[in-house]
């Protein structure tokens, strides 16, 4: 897949004071524990963060993917939230319309990494042309996840915060 470009990212977030004002009014809620990557008795929780756009230009936003996977039941939940600011100075302000909650529908343990498939919980959040399905690769050994973002694959580093 191709990388997300600065222009494409700015079109997605609709840069302007109106979008930021709306984002400030949106409460940040999390369905998941924000613990670092770890596992306990057949489960795996992770939090991974990456900058957007993901190319060599400075990041304008932070892509946060959090999840809890029940490996035995091949189920769980994941949330995607995009916050204003790069990962080093991420704010608590989420970009409106870019957050998603996914129900995990399948998990394949491929040794050092997990292949996770999910579907969006609320299809009314989808933008035109956006798929309701998500495929995420979690590399537990390297502490890196690869997740989709509007036609691009974004590398995300697992964090402890």
Residue 63 confidence (pLDDT): 96
Looking at the DSSP bridge assignments, the partners of residue 75 are: 70
CB atoms within 10 A of CB 79: 20
Closest CA to 144 of 49, 23, 78: 49
Summarised one tens digit per residue, pLDDT across range 82-104 is: 999 999 999 999 988 899 999 99
State mean pLDDT over 130-137. 96
Distance CA 35, CA 24 (A): 24
Residue 28 C-alpha from the chain's centroid: 14
* 7 pLDDT more than 90: no
- Is a pLDDT exceeding 60 seen at residue 37? no
Q: Is the pLDDT of residue 133 over 90?
A: yes
Q: In this predicted structure, what is the pLDDT of residue 36?
A: 39
Q: Distance between CA 9 and CA 45 in Å, rounded? A: 28
- Give the Cα separation of 157 and 142 in Å (integer): 9
Nearest to 114 by CA among 75, 79, 153, 81: 75
Where exactly are the structural domains of the chain?
A: 6-28+46-158
Rounded Cα distance, 90 and 99, in Å: 15
Angle, alpha carbons 39-45-50 (nearest 5°): 130
Q: The pTM is what?
A: 0.75
Q: What number of residues does the chain have? A: 161
């Amino acid at each position: 897949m191709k990388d997300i470009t600065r222009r494409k990212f700015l079109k997605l977030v609709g840069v302007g004071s109106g979008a930021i004002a709306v984002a400030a009014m949106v409460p940040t809620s999390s369905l998941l524990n924000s613990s670092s990557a770890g596992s306990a008795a057949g489960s795996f929780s992770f939090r991974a963060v990456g900058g957007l756009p993901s190319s060599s230009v400075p990041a304008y936003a932070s892509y946060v993917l959090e999840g809890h996977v029940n490996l035995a039941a091949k189920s769980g939940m994941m949330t995607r939230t995009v916050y204003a600011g790069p990962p080093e100075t991420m704010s608590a302000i989420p970009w409106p319309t870019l957050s998603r909650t996914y129900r995990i529908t399948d998990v394949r343990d491929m040794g050092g990494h997990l292949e996770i498939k999910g579907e969006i919980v609320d299809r009314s959040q989808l933008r035109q042309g956006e798929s309701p399905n998500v495929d995420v690769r979690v590399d537990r050994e390297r502490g890196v996840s690869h997740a989709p973002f509007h036609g691009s694959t974004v590398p995300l580093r697992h964090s402890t915060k």
